[in-house]
Amino acid sequence: MASDARRLHCDQAPAWAELQSYFDGVGRDLDLRDAFRADPARFDAFSQDAPHVFADLSKNLIDIKAEALLLQLARECGLEQHRDAMFAGEPINVTEGRAVKHWLLRTPRGASSDPDAIEVHATLDAMLAYAEKVRADSAITDVVNIGIGGSDLGPQMAVLALEEFAVPGKRFHFVSNVDGHELASVLRQVRPESTLFLIASKTFTTVETMTNAQSARTWFEAQGGRDVARHFAALTTNIAAAADFDITTTFGFWDWVGGRYSLWSAIGLPIAIAIGTERFRELLAGAHAMDRHFATSPLARNLPVRLGVLDVWYRNFHGFASRSIAPYHSALKRLPAYLQQLEMESNGKRVDMQGMPLAQASSPVLWGEPGTNGQHAYFQMLHQGTDRVPVEFIAVKHAGHTLAGHHGQLLANGLAQAQALMQGKADRGGHRDFPGNRPSTFFVFDRLDPATLGAFLALYEHRVFVSGSLWGLNSFDQWGVELGKVLAKALVPRLDAGDVAGLDASTAGLLKRLTPRH
Ligand code: F6P
C-alpha cells in the first residue's frame, strides 16, 4: 500500500459490522468465570511467548470468535501493509511527510539495506565510545539530563529500571520541568567540576529545555566551572542550534525518530552511561527481536497485534475509556508515565489521516503505579467501582535483590489481584460483594534486564501502532501540543506586566491573582 490516504476506514470494513453484532449478541455479556469453565484450554489459547516476554491475555473479555473477527478486521484494514510500509521506510507520518524508522536504530549492523543504516551505526558507535569514556572518568560523579517528553521519560524510566546494572559511583538526575524548583534542587546537589550536563532535545527549541539549559550553563560559569566542552553535551537533530549554544560535543539523530520513540537513539546516552556498551546493545537487541516478531509472526500469534486489536475491542465495543498499568517491580516506577506519552501522544487524536473526524473513539487514558502500592490506593475502585478498567500486570520471576521473603509476597500479590478482579466474591451483598469479571492482562518477564526491557518497550510501540492503524489516525504527529505552547508564550510578558487586555474573564482573573505586581 503506497499511500496512507487510501487506507480503508476500519469502521466501514465488513468485519466491523460483524464485530458489532457479535458484541451485541454475545461479546458484551462474556463472563470470564464461565469462559474458563467451558474451555479448559482457554489459558493456552490466550497466552503466548514473544521474545523475552510471556503474556497471558486469557483474563480478558474476549473469546476465540471475537479475536478471529478482530484479526479479520486488521487484515481488511490493511494493517499488514501499513506495518510493512513502516519497515520499508515509507513516509507513513503523512502530516509531517516523514518516515517512521525508530526500528532502524536497533537493527544490527549489516542487517538492513536502508540508506540511513550506516550513519545510524556510526553515531551509535561514537555515542557508546563517549559513554565508556564518561563511565571510566571517576571525576564525573553526576550526570544531569535536561530534556522533556521523549527526551526525558524514556531515559529516566530506563535508567531507573536498569539500576541493578548501573555503573557504581555515578548519580543520574533528570530535569524536565520549566519549574525552577526542579533544576534548583539538582544544582544544590552537584558541583560544576564533577557534573556532566546532557542537553537532550530533538528540536533544540523546546522552551522548557532551553530555559533549563541556559540556567544550568549560567550556574556552571558562576560557580567557576570551566571547560564547557567537557561538561556539556547535546543530543539533538538540530546540530546547528546546539553549536549556537556553544556545545561542541554533540550526538545527532534524525527527523524520522519521533520524540517518544527516541530512547534508542542518542537520546539514550544516559542509559548507555549507566549500563555500558554491552548492556545498551542488549537493550537494542531485545527491541530488535520484538521488531522481527511483529514484522513476521502470523497475526494470530503476533503479540503486538493481539494486544492492539484487544485495545480496539475494549475502546470501541466495550467502551472502556482507560487502562491501568500495574508493574509489580518498583524499578518500573516511571513506566506508566513513559507509556502515557507513548500511547496518548501517539493515539490521542480525533481526526484521520486526511484530517476528517474519526467515526470512533481513540486512545484510552493510561495511568498506574507500581504494585503493591496501588493496592492500598485506587484498587478499591478497580474492584468495586462503577467503571470497569482493564488492568495490565507486569511480574518479574527473578528478583534483582537477595532480601528474603519479599519477592514471593510481591508476586503473590500481583497474582491475587488479577485473580480477585476476575473471580469476584459474593458475600452478604452490598458493601462486601465483589462483582468480578473484571479484565486484566498479565505479563511475565524472567528478569528485568536490558534485553527484556527493550523487547517490552518495542512490544508497546508496536501495539500502539496497531490500534492507531486500525483507528486510521496518524500515530506519529502531535499537533495537539502546539496551541498551549503558543498561548503560554504570549502570556509570559502579560504576567510580568499584569496585562489582561482582551483576555477571557477567567484567564484575566487568574492572571491578576498570579501576577507579581498585584
Ligand atoms: O511538546 C511535545 C513534544 O514535542 C514531544 O513530542 C517531545 O517528546 C517533547 O516535546 C520534547 O521535544 P524535544 O525533544 O524537541 O525538546
369-385: pLDDT as tens digits: 999 999 999 999 999 99
Contact indicator for 156, 145 with CB cutoff of 8 Å:
yes
The pLDDT confidence band at residue 301, using thresholds 50, 70 and 90, is: very high
Q: Report the chain's mean pLDDT, rounded to a whole number.
A: 96
Distance 341 CA to ligand 1 centre (A): 10
Q: Is the pLDDT of residue 101 over 80?
A: yes
**Known catalytic membership, residue 485:** yes
Distance 208 CA to ligand 1 centre (A): 10
Q: What is the CA 277 to chain-centroid distance, rounded?
A: 23
pTM: 0.97
C-alpha cell of residue 410: 510481591
Atom of ligand 1 nearest to the CA of 203: 15
Name all residues whose Cβ lies below 6 A of ligand 1: 148-151, 201-203, 206, 209, 259-260, 345, 478, 481
Spatial separation of the C-alpha atoms in residues 34 and 57, rounded to whole Å: 16
DSSP state for residue 29 in the 8-state scheme: G
d(CA 299, CA 73): 11
Whether 82 sits among the annotated catalytic residues: the reply is no
Kindly state the average pLDDT of the residues 393-410: 97
User: What is the number of residues in the chain?
Assistant: 518
Ligand 1, closest atom to CA 208?
16
Q: Which DSSP string corresponds to 423-487?
A: H-B--SSGGG-B-----EEEEEES---HHHHHHHHHHHHHHHHHHHHHHT--TT--GGGHHHHHH
pLDDT 10s digits, 337-381: 999 999 999 999 999 999 999 999 999 999 999 999 999 999 999
pLDDT at residue 493 tops 50: yes
Centre of ligand 1 to C-alpha 163, Å, is 25
Closest CA to 287 of 458, 127, 166: 458
CA 515 vs CA 352, 482, 488, 490, 492: distances in Å: 41, 24, 14, 14, 10
Could you confirm whether 329 is annotated as catalytic? no
**Three-state SS at 238:** coil
Query: How are beta strands 232-236 and 47-50 bridged, if at all?
Result: unpaired
Q: Retrieve residue 493's grid coordinates.
A: 510578558
Residue nearest to atom 3 of ligand 1 (CA): 149
Residue 326, classed as helix, strand or coil, is: strand
Task: Note the pLDDT of residue 304.
Answer: 98
pLDDT classification of 516: cutoffs 50, 70, 90:
confident
CA nearest neighbour of 389 among 372, 359, 368: 368
Residue with the nearest Cα to atom 16 of ligand 1?
201
